[in-house]
Structure 1
Amino acid sequence: MAVLWMESWWEVLLTTAVILSTALTFVLVTLPSRYSSFDHLEKATGDVSKDANSRAESAVTVQVVVLGDIGRSPRMQYHALSIANHGGKVNLIGFVESEVHPDVQASRSIKVKPLHPFSKRWQTNNKALFLLIAPLKVLWQVWTLYQALGYRTRPSKWMLVQNPPSIPTLAVAQLICFLRNTRLIIDWHNFGYSLLALRLGPQHPLVRVSEWYEGFFAQRATAHFAVTDAMTKLLKQKWDVDASPLHDRPAEQFQPLTTQQRTSFLSKLAETAQYADGLETGKWKLLVSSTSWTADEDFALLLDALVGYSAAVAEDSNLPRALVIITGKGPLKEYYLKRIRELNQENKLSSVVVTTAWLSTEDYASLLGSADVGISLHTSSSGVDLPMKVVDMLGTGLPVLGWSKFEAWPELIHEGDNGCGFESAEGMTILLKDLFGDGGQRLQRLRQGALKDCERRWDDEWMPVAGQLLQLKP
C-alpha cells in the first residue's frame, strides 16, 4: 500500500511539474520583447556595425499613454507633437472617441494605437451599480492596455503616462516597463483618488486604497512632470516624489484673431451667425465655456449667474445681452440641457441665450479668439491642478472668469490683469455686470493682460523640461 501511495503521489508531482514547466515556458516565450537602443538603430539604418556611442544616438522612442479619449487630452497630444518635432518617434495610445489633432494625424513620426473601449451599456451614475461594474471595467482596461503596450507596439526607451486615471494605468505601465526595459515618466494632471472621492466620498475605503496605490507606483517611476508648482510641492510632501513643474501653455493654433478674421468667423459659424451683427456692435457679448460635463464642474453655478445677469439686463438697458456657447461632451450634459430648457420656459433667461456645440480644433480655437469672455467652472478635486481650457483661452488673448477657491488658481490667473476669480454665482453675476457695464473699459484692460500672457507657448515651456529629460535636440 505504501508503495502504491508513493507511486501515485509521484505521478501527481511529475504531472504538476510538467504543467508548471510548460506554463512557465509559454509565459517566458510570449513575454513582450525588450527595448534595446541597438535594435532601434539597426531598424533605422540597417547598419549592425555601429559602436556603443553610435547606438546612444539612435532616435528617442516614446510610448505616450492616456487611458482616456486622445481627442480630449490636448496635453498628451502636445507631448507627442513636441517629441516628434524634435526628432523622436511616438506611439500614442488611448481611446479614439473624438477627432485627434490634425497635426498628430499628419505626423509621420506619430502612430496612434487605439484602445478598445469598455461597453457604454455598462456605464452608470448609480453609486451601488458603479461599485459592481467598476471591477469589470478595470479588468477590461488591464487586458486592453497590456495588449497595446506589450504587443501592439514596439518596445520604447520611454513611456509617458497621463495620471489620472491611476487605476489600472500605473500598475500596467510599471509592469510593461519592467518587462520591456523601458523608463516610466508620470505626467501628473491631478490625483486619481481625489477624483474618486467626488463620487464615493473622501472617507470611503476604496478612496483610501486608491490613494495608497497611487503613492506606491509613484515612488517607482523614473521621472515625473506636474502641471503646477503647488502639485510639485504636494507630491514631495505626500510621497517624497521629485517632480518637475511643466506648466500647460497654448499650442500654436490658439492665436488672437484680427477684427476681419473675427467678423468672418462669427458670420459663418452656425451657433453665432444670427447674432453676428449684434456681437459686432456690442449689443451682444459672447461668452464661451468648455467642459467635460463632470462632477468637478458645477454648471448649476453658471446657470444661476446667468439668471442673475438676465435680471440685471432687464433693469439696465445699457447692459448687453449675452450669447453663451458651451463646448464639450460628458455624462452630465443631458441633465444640464434639461435645466436650461426649464429656465427658458420659466422666462428666467430672457436676455441670455445658452447653446452647446462640438467643434473641430480649428473652429474651437477661432471661437475662443472671437469671444469676449471665457468661463471656467473647474473646481479642482485636489486643489493643485489647473484646467487646460483656461490656457487655451489665454492663448487667444481671451480674458477668463473662473472658480478661484483653490490653491493653484493664482499660478495661471493674475487677478485683475488677465482674468478674475469668483466663489459664488452672485460673484460671477457681479463680475459680468462690471465688465460689460462700463463701456467695456475694464474688459479691455483684461484683454490686454491676456494678450501679453499668451506670448509664451507650449514648446517654450516643454523643451527645457521634457525635451532635456528625453535628450532631444532643440
Structure 2
Amino acid sequence: MIETVISIAFCLSSVLTVLILLLPSQYVPERAKSGGSSNDTEQHKTSVQILVLGDIGRSPRMQYHALSIARNGGKVVIIGYNESDPHPDITTHPKISIVPLRPHPRLLQTSNKLLFIIYGPLKVLFQIGCLWKCLAYTTTPSRWLLVQNPPSIPTLAIASIVCFLRQTKLIIDWHNFGYSILALKLGQSHPLVKLSIWYEKVFCKSASAHLCVTNAMKTVLKTDFNLEAPILPLHDRPASHFKPILDSNARTAFLSKLPETKEAFASLKPSSLRVLVSSTSWTPDEDFSVLIDALLQYSEMATTTHTHLPNVLAIITGKGPQKEMYLEQIAALEKRDKLQKVTIRTAWLTVPDYAQLLASASLGVSLHTSSSGVDLPMKVVDMFGAGLPVVGWDRFEAWPELVTEGVNGLGFGSSEELVQHLVELFGNNDKLELLRVGAQKESSRRWDDEWNPIAGSLIGLT
C-alpha cells in the first residue's frame, strides 16, 4: 500500500515538474538590460510582438504599427499568416522579424453555413494549438503584445493567458468587432453570435490598453464593454508610399504602362477614358453587386441618353472568398454585351504599383458597409493618401469621421445613387477635379503624425 502511494506521488510530482518546466518563460526587464536570453538588449528601447490572425501582407495597419515601432528604436516580431508579400520595408528592416503561423487545412475553409458550424470548432482548435506554440514557446518573451481584433476567437483568450504567464502587457487594436462580422454569416440572433459577444467582452478586459479606429468605436467600448483600461482612438492614416501625382501627364504615363490598364489606353484617348479603382476583400460586408449594377446602368446611359459620357475602366484589386462568384457575373454581362462603355478588370498589385494606381486613377470606390457601424475602411485612407477622391457607402455612423461630403468625396446608399455620382463626376471634369483637390489636402495627414503621440507614447517610444 505504501509503495503504491509512493509510486502515485512520484508520478504526480514528475508530471507537475514537467508542466512547470514547460510553462512559457517570462519577460524580465532586468535580464533584458543585462543582455540576457530574452534578446531584448539595450540597443532596443522596448520589444513588441504583433499578432495578426490573418495574412500579414493584407494587414496594412499592423504593418504600419511595426514600422513605426522599429523606426523609433523598438524590436518587433510579427506573427501571422505569410500568404502575400508584406511591405518591402518590413522584410528589410533589421529590427523587424516575421514568425509565420501554420495555415489551417483547406478542408476547414467553407462558405456553407451548415458546414461552417461543423468545421468552425475544428478550425478554432487548430488555431489554438498553433497560437499557443508560437506565442508561448517559439518566440522569446516581449514587453508588449499588440493584437489585431477581429478575429477575436481564439486570439483574445490565448493572448490573455500567454500575457499573464509571460508578464507581457496586452494591447488590443480594435478594427471592428468579431461578433458583428460573425453575425453577417449566421444572423444576429444565432447562439454562436451571442456566445461571441460574451467571449469578446470577457477576454478584452485583460488588456492593459486599447486602440481603436474611430471615436464612435471608443464610445461603444466604453459604454457597452465597460472597459476601465485606457481606450485611445488611433485613426488610420496613409503611409509614406501613398503620395499624390500632381502632373496629369505622369498619371497617364503610368496607366499607359501598367499591364491591367495599358490595353484600354492604347485603344482610347486618355480624355475619353476614366479609371475607377476599388479595393475589396470580396467578403459579405462589401456588397460588390452595388458597383456592378451601377456600372451596368452607367453603360446603358452612356450608350443611349448620355452619349457624352466617357468610357470607364474599373480596376478591382484584392483577394477573397466571393471573387469567383462576382467574376462569373461580370463575364455573363460581357457576353450579353451589357457593358459596352465599361471594362472591368481585376488585379493583385505590388505595394508600389498599387500606390501609383491610386494616385493615377480618376475616382476611388469603397463598398465597405461596416458590420458594426463604427469601423472605417482602410482603403479610403490609402486613396486619400494618394490624392484620389472617393465615393463610398455611407450608411453607417462613423463615415463622417473619414469623409467630408462634397469636399474630398461623396457618399451613397444604393446603386442608383452611385450611378448618379458617376454620371455627375465623369460628365463634369471640373466637379471631379474639385474633389481631387480636397483629397490632395487630406493626403497631408500622415500615419506617423497620428501614431507617435498616441501609440508611441503608450509604449514609451515617443
**Normalising by structure 1, what TM-score?**
0.93
Query: Which of 244, 265, 281 is residue 232 of structure 2 equivalent to?
Result: 244
For the pair shown, which has the larger CA radius of gyration, 1 or 2?
1
Q: What are the residue-to-residue correspondences of 1:139-218 with 2, within 5 Å?
A: 139-218=125-204
Compute the displacement of 1:277 (Å).
Answer: 5.3
Counterpart residue identity of residue 122, structure 2? L
Compute the displacement of 1:37 (Å).
Answer: 1.4
In the aligned structure 2, how far is the partner of 1:20 from the partner of 1:79? 45
Match of 1:50 in 2: none
Match of 2:27 in 1: 35
Contact in 1 for aligned 2:363/2:391 (Cα 8 Å)? yes
Compute the displacement of 1:281 (Å).
Answer: 3.1
Q: Bigger CA drift: 418-427 or 28-37?
A: 28-37
Query: Which of 33, 45, 69 is residue 83 of structure 1 equivalent to?
Result: 69
Mapped pair 1:297 → 2:286? yes
Contact in 1 for aligned 2:32/2:42 (Cα 8 Å)? no
Q: What are the residue-to-residue correspondences of 1:15-30 with 2, within 5 Å?
A: 15-30=7-22
In the aligned structure 2, how far is the partner of 1:180 from the partner of 1:71? 28
Match of 1:269 in 2: 258
Mapped pair 1:434 → 2:424? yes
Mapped pair 1:368 → 2:358? yes
Query: Which of 406, 410, 415 is residue 425 of structure 1 equivalent to?
Result: 415
Q: Deviations over 1:426-455 (max 9, x none)?
A: 0000010011112x1111110011011110
Mapped pair 1:105 → 2:94? no
Compute the displacement of 1:471 (Å).
Answer: 0.7
Counterpart residue identity of residue 209, structure 1? L
Q: Deviations over 1:168-212 (max 9, x none)?
A: 000010111011100000000000000000011000011001001
Distance 1:92-1:280 versus aligned 2 partners, 3 A rule? farther
Q: Say how many residue pairs are matched.
A: 457
Mapped pair 1:454 → 2:443? yes
Q: What are the residue-to-residue correspondences of 1:401-412 with 2, within 5 Å?
A: 401-412=391-402
Distance 1:370-1:43 versus aligned 2 partners, 3 A rule? same
Mapped pair 1:349 → 2:339? yes
Match of 2:244 in 1: 256
Compute the displacement of 1:27 (Å).
Answer: 1.1
The secondary structure found in structure 1 opposite 2:194 is helix
Q: Deviations over 1:57-115 (max 9, x none)?
A: 96210001110000000000000000000000000110000011100001000010000
Compute the displacement of 1:405 (Å).
Answer: 0.3
Distance 1:22-1:44 versus aligned 2 partners, 3 A rule? closer
Contact in 1 for aligned 2:147/2:173 (Cα 8 Å)? yes
CA root-mean-square deviation: 1.8
Counterpart residue identity of residue 363, structure 1? D
Contact in 2 for aligned 1:37/1:56 (Cα 8 Å)? no
Counterpart residue identity of residue 236, structure 2? D
> Percent identity over the alignment?
54
The secondary structure found in structure 2 opposite 1:272 is helix
Runs of 4+ in 1 over 6 A off after TM superposition: none
Compute the displacement of 1:223 (Å).
Answer: 0.2
Match of 1:308 in 2: 297
The secondary structure found in structure 2 opposite 1:173 is helix
Q: Deviations over 1:205-263 (max 9, x none)?
A: 11001001001011121000000010001100111224100000000000011334323
Counterpart residue identity of residue 294, structure 1? T
Query: Which of 288, 299, 303 is residue 277 of structure 2 equivalent to?
Result: 288
In the aligned structure 2, how far is the partner of 1:84 from the partner of 1:58? 9
In the aligned structure 1, how far is the partner of 2:208 from the partner of 2:218? 15
Contact in 2 for aligned 1:249/1:461 (Cα 8 Å)? yes
The secondary structure found in structure 1 opposite 2:254 is helix
Q: What are the residue-to-residue correspondences of 1:56-75 with 2, within 5 Å?
A: 59-75=45-61
Counterpart residue identity of residue 244, structure 1? L
In the aligned structure 2, how far is the partner of 1:390 from the partner of 1:14? 68
Compute the displacement of 1:371 (Å).
Answer: 0.5
Match of 2:117 in 1: 131
Distance 1:294-1:470 versus aligned 2 partners, 3 A rule? same
Compute the displacement of 1:11 (Å).
Answer: 6.1
Compute the displacement of 1:17 (Å).
Answer: 3.4
Gaps of 5+ in 2: none
Compute the displacement of 1:390 (Å).
Answer: 0.5
Contact in 2 for aligned 1:377/1:402 (Cα 8 Å)? yes
